[in-house]
Amino acid sequence: MRKSLIAVAIGAALTVAACADKEAAQATDQQAEQQVQQAEQQTAAAEFNQSNPFYAESTLPFHAPDFTKIKFEHYEPALLAGMEAHAAEIAEIATNSEPATFENTIVAMEKSGALLGRVSAVFGNVAGSAGNDDFRALQVKMAPKYAAHSDNISLNAALFARVKTVYENRDQFEGEKLRLIEDTYKDFVRAGANLTEEQKVRIREINSELSSLTTEFRNNLMTLVDENMIVVDDKAQLTGLSESQIASLAKAAEAKDMPGKYVITITNTTRQPILSSLENRELREKVWRASAERGSGNTATDNRPLVKRMAQLRAEKAQLLGYDNWGAYVLEQSMAATPEAAQQMLRDLVPAVVSNVEAEMAEIQAQISSEGGDFEVKPWDWAFYAEKVRAEKYALDSNEVKQYFEFNRVVEDGVFYAMNQLFGITFEKRDDIPTYADDIVVYEVKDVNGESLGLFYGDWFTRDGKRGGAWMSSFVSQSHLLGDKPVILNNMNITKAPDGQPTLLSFDEVSTMFHEMGHALHGMFSDVTYPSLAGTSVSRDYVEFPSTFQEDWTLNPKVLANMAKHHETGEQIPKELLDKVMAAKNFNMGYDTLEYIAAALLDLEYHTLTPDSAAGIADVNSFEQASLTRNGVAVEAVPPRYRSNYFAHVFAGGYSAGYYAYMWSEVLAADAFKFVQENGGLTLENGQAFRDAILSKGNSKDPMQQYIDFRGQKPTVDALLERRGLTAPKID
**Distance between CA 707 and CA 438 in Å, rounded?**
39
- Our measurement of the distance from residue 163's CA atom to the centroid of its chain's CA atoms, rounded to an integer in Å, reads 30
**Cα–Cα distances in Å, from 678 out to 107, 514, 709, 722, 724?**
43, 21, 17, 15, 18
Please state, in angstroms and as integers, the Cα–Cα distance from residue 69 to each residue in 55, 58, 304, 438, 664, following that order: 12, 10, 40, 16, 43
Task: Give the count of beta carbons closer than 10 Å to the beta carbon of residue 685.
Answer: 10
Rounded distance between C-alpha atoms, residue 726 and residue 590, angstroms: 7
Buried b / exposed e over 218-230, threshold 16 CB at 10 Å, is: bbbbbbbbebbbb
Distances (CA, A) of 456 to 345, 388, 425, 517, 527: 35, 39, 12, 10, 17
Catalogue the E-assigned strands of 478-604.
Answer: 487-494
The amino acid at residue 36 is V
Q: Side chain identity at 614, as an amino acid letter?
A: A
- In terms of Cα–Cα distance, which of 679, 667, 647 is closest to 341? 667
Backbone torsions φ then ψ of 456, nearest 5 degrees: -125, 125
Q: What gap in Å lies between CA 229 and CA 223, rounded to an integer? A: 10
Q: Taking the CB of residue 50, how many other CB atoms lie within 10 A of it?
A: 7
- Residue 574 DSSP label: P
Rounded distance between C-alpha atoms, residue 675 and residue 584, angstroms:
23
Helix (H, G, I), strand (E, B) or coil at 468: coil
Alpha-carbon distance 587 to 585, whole Å? 6
Q: Reduced to 3 states, what is the DSSP secondary structure of residue 645?
A: helix
- Rounded CA gap, 224 and 592, in Å? 25
Eight-class DSSP state of 357: H
What is the rounded distance in angstroms from the CA atom of residue 81 to the CA atom of residue 75?
10
Is 548:665 a contact under the CB 8 Å cutoff? Answer: yes
- Cα angle at 206 between 202 and 212, to 5 degrees? 150
The answer to whether residues 74 and 52 touch, using CB atoms and an 8 Å cutoff, is yes
DSSP state of 553: G
State the amino acid at position 216 in one-letter form. Answer: E
- Count the Cβ atoms, other than its own, within 10 Å of residue 554: 24
The identity of residue 616, as a single letter, is G
Task: Report helix, strand and coil shares of the chain as percent, to nearest 5.
Answer: 60, 5, 35
Catalytic residue among 84, 516, 605, 666: 516
Angle among Cα 94, 99, 104 to the nearest 5 degrees reads: 60
CB contact at 8 A, 378 and 385: no
Tell me how far apart the alpha carbons of residues 299 and 575 are, in angstroms, rounded to a whole number: 49
| Contacts (Cβ under 8 Å, ≥6 apart) of 680 | 686
Phi, psi of 460 (to 5 degrees): -95, -15
* Structure letter (DSSP) for residue 437: S
Residue 516 annotated to the active site:
yes
Q: What type of residue sits at position 618?
A: A
Query: For 152-268, where are the E strands, in sequence order?
Result: 230-232, 262-264
In 3D, which of 661, 436, 652 has the Cα closest to residue 539? 661
Phi, psi of 263 (to 5 degrees): -115, 125
- Annotated catalytic sites, by residue? 516
